[in-house]
Structure 1
Amino acid sequence: MLSTLFTQGSEKIQYLGTCYTQDCLEALGFILQTQQNIEKAILLSNKQYHAFLIISERNTYVVRSGFKSGYMGEGPKGLASSLQLLLKHQIDIEEVNISEKLMKKVNKALILESDVKHILESKFVRPLRIHEYIYTIYKTLEYQQINDRHYPIELSYHLIDPRIFDLALKFKEEPNNAIMTAYARLEDILRHKTKTDLFSSNLLKTAFISDKHKSMYKWNVDNEEVSNAIGRLFTHIFTAYRKERAHGEINKHYKMQIREFMLINELYLLENESIPNN
Structure 2
Amino acid sequence: MVSVGPGRRGRPAGIAYHGVAGASQDCLDAVLNLLMGRSAIRQVRLLSAAGSHALLLSTEFDDLIAIKSGFSSGYSGEGPTALSKALCALVAHGATISEHAVEPDYISRVDDAALSLGDLEALSLAQEIRPARWADYIQERHHRWVAEGYWVAMMPEVMPFAILDRRLAASALRFWANPDQALVDGYRLLEDTVRRRSGLDRHGARLFREAFNGRLGWPVAHEAEREGRAHLFANAFMAFRNPRMHRPAGPDPAALAEFLLLNQLFRLEAEAVEIAAVGEVGPA
TM-score range, shorter chain: 0.7 to 0.9
SS of match in other structure, 2:234? helix
- State the alpha-carbon separation in 1 of the partners of residues 152 and 142 from structure 2: 17
Q: In the alignment, is residue 33 of structure 1 matched against residue 36 of structure 2?
A: yes
SS of match in other structure, 1:96? strand
After superposition, give the CA deviation of every residue in 1:164-214 in whole Å (9 maximum; x if it has no partner): 101111111111111100000110000111012111111101122x4xxxx
**Which structure 2 residues correspond to residues 63-212 of structure 1 after superposition, within 5 A?**
63-134=67-138, 137-138=139-140, 141-143=143-145, 147-208=151-212, 210=213
Q: Report the Cα offset of residue 47 of structure 1.
A: 1.6
SS of match in other structure, 1:34? coil
Greater Cα shift, 55-64 or 115-124: 115-124
After superposition, give the CA deviation of every residue in 1:106-127 in whole Å (9 maximum; x if it has no partner): 0011123442333233211110
Tell me the residue number matched to 2:9: none
Tell me the residue number matched to 2:250: 251
Structure of greater Rg: 2
- Contact 2:51-2:74 at 8 Å conserved across structures: yes
Gaps of at least 5 residues in structure 2 are 1-11, 277-284
Q: Which letter does structure 1 place at the counterpart of 2:112?
A: K
User: How many residue pairs align between the two structures?
Assistant: 261
Name the CA shift for 1:12/1:191 in 2 (closer, same or farther; >3 Å): farther
- Contact 2:195-2:202 at 8 Å conserved across structures: yes
Q: Which letter does structure 2 place at the counterpart of 1:232?
A: H
Name the CA shift for 1:125/1:186 in 2 (closer, same or farther; >3 Å): same
Instruction: Give the counterpart of 2:51 among 30, 48, 53.
Output: 48
Structure with the bigger RCO (C-alpha within 8 Å, sep 6+) is 2
After superposition, give the CA deviation of every residue in 1:233-257 in whole Å (9 maximum; x if it has no partner): 222112211110122214343x311
- State the alpha-carbon separation in 1 of the partners of residues 25 and 248 from structure 2: 33
Q: Report the Cα offset of residue 140 of structure 1.
A: 7.1
Q: TM-score, normalised by structure 2?
A: 0.85
- Contact 1:25-1:150 at 8 Å conserved across structures: no
- Contact 1:238-1:264 at 8 Å conserved across structures: no
SS of match in other structure, 2:169? helix
- State the alpha-carbon separation in 1 of the partners of residues 143 and 222 from structure 2: 48
After superposition, give the CA deviation of every residue in 1:53-101 in whole Å (9 maximum; x if it has no partner): 1111343211111110111111111111111111111222111111222
- State the alpha-carbon separation in 2 of the partners of residues 197 and 140 from structure 1: 54
Q: Which letter does structure 2 place at the counterpart of 1:234?
A: F
- State the alpha-carbon separation in 2 of the partners of residues 276 and 122 from structure 1: 67
- State the alpha-carbon separation in 1 of the partners of residues 143 and 254 from structure 2: 29
